[in-house]
Amino acid sequence: MRIGLTFDAVADWQTEGLDAEHLAEFDAEETIAAIEQFWHRRGHTVERIGRLQALVARLAAAGGGWDLVFNICEGLRGMARESAVPALLDAYGVPYVFSDPAVLAVALHKGLAKRVVRDAGVPTAPFAILEDAADAATAELPFPIFAKPVAEGTGKGVGRQSLCRNATQLAATAHGLIHRFRQPVLAEAWLPGREFTVGMIGSGDGAEIVGVMEIDSAETYGYATKKRYDRVRYRLADDAEAKQAGDVALAAWRALGGRDGGRIDVRSDADGRPMFIEANPLPGLHPVDSDLVLLVRLAGHSYDWLMERICARACDRLGLDWRAAA
C-alpha cells in the first residue's frame, strides 16, 4: 500500500517562533521515524505529508493518491483543531487511521466529553464549564476544585494553582487560564484517589483494553505536568480498583466513539471509585516516552506489537488488506 503520514513536527513549528508550551504536543523526529519504519518493515511505501498546510497543498494539487493515511496531527489553533486533518481526508474520500472529526472535536473539549460519557452512565466527577472568571462564584461544586483549560493536552495550563480551595482561588485561576489560553476553563470536583491511564485498541463493541497503568506522581495535583519523569512512577495495575478503572475507560471509549487505538485517563474519588477524566483518541506514539507505549512495554510487549494492533484494527474496519505486501 501507499501510506501517507500526517503529523505536526516540532522542527516545522519551531521555525515559526512557537514557545516550548505550544510545541509540547507536537511530534519529535523519533516518533515520525518510528511510524515510518514500522510501515517500511511491512513492505509498504510511506510518504511524509506533514502538517495540515502541507496536506491542503497536496490534496489541491493531486487529490491524495494514498491507500491509507496514518494521522497523528494535533493542530495548532481552535478547539476543534484535531479534527481538521480527518475532515479534509473525509472530504476527499481518503481512508485514515484513528478517530473521525466528530470524535476528535468532542474528546478535545473536556467538558463536552464529560457530558457525553455522563449521559451514557459512565461515572465522572461533578463539573462546570467557566466561560469567564465570574462564573466561579456560581459554580455549584464542592471544594476543593481542580481547574484546567477545557481544550488543551499534555498538561498545558496545569500546575499548583489548579487545585482551588475556595471561590477566590478558583476565580483567580480561571481568569489566568482564560486570558492565557483564550478558551473556557473546566472546573471539576477534586479526585484525591489513585490515577490511571488505560490503553484502548479497536472500535465500538470490538474495542478492548490493552492494559491499565497506574501513575504515581510526587505532585499533589497529580500527573497533569506530564513528562517530568523524575517525579512520576508507572506500574501496571490489576487489582479490583484498577479493573474497575478499566471498565470505566472501556465504557467511555465506546460512548465517545473512539476508533483503532487511544487512551482514557481515570482517577478515583476519596472512596476509591474510578471516574472518567478525559480521553485521548490521538495517543502519543513516541517509541520511548509516550504513555501508551510505556503501558504496553510494562505489559511485556514491543512498539511493533502496539502498532500492529492499531493498524490491524483500522484496516479491518476499512476493509484493507494491509498484510498483503508483507
- Write the CA distances from 129 to 145, 149, 253, 269, integer angstroms: 12, 10, 22, 20
From the number of C-beta atoms within 10 Å of its C-beta (0-12, 13-18, 19+), residue 217 rates as: middle
Which residues, given as ranges, of the chain have pLDDT below 70? 13-24, 154, 218-231, 324-326
Distance (Å) of CA 122 to CA 113, 116, 212:
11, 9, 17
Phi-psi region of 64 (alpha: psi -120 to 50; beta: other; left: phi over 0): left
Grid coordinates given for 106: 468532542
* C-alpha neighbours within 13 Å on the C-beta side of residue 42: 19
φ, ψ dihedrals at 80, nearest 5°: -120, 25
Instruction: Give the pairing of strands 96-97 and 274-280.
Output: unpaired
pLDDT 10s digits, 144-189? 999 999 988 767 888 888 999 999 999 999 999 999 889 999 999 9
Give the C-alpha separation, 146 to 215, whole Å. Answer: 18
Radius of gyration of the chain (CA): 19
The per-residue pLDDT for 10 is 77
> Which residues make Cβ contacts (< 8 Å) with residue 256, sequence separation at least 6?
103, 106, 107, 113, 116, 117, 279, 281
Give, as one character, the DSSP assignment of residue 28. P
- Domains along the sequence of the chain with CATH: 2-97 (3.40.50.20), 126-189 (3.30.1490.20), 195-302+313-318 (3.30.470.20)
Cα 116 to the center of its chain, rounded Å: 16
What number of other Cβ atoms are within 10 A of residue 17's Cβ? 7
pLDDT, position 287: 95
Looking at residue 227, its pLDDT comes to: 45
- Judge whether 37 and 81 are in contact, CB under 8 Å: no
**Do the beta carbons of residue 5 and residue 32 sit within 8 Å?**
yes
**Three-state SS letters, 223-271:** CCCCCCHHHEEEEECCCHHHHHHHHHHHHHHHHHCCCCEEEEEEEECCC
Identity (one letter) of the amino acid at 248? V
Helix and strand totals (H; E) in the chain: 11, 13
- What pLDDT score was predicted for residue 78? 85
DSSP code per residue over 38-97: HHHHTT-EEEEEESHHHHHHHHHHH----SEEEE----SSSTTGGGHHHHHHHHTT--EE
| Contacts with 41 (C-beta within 8 Å, 6 or more apart), sequence order | 304
Grid cell 466513539 — which residue?
257
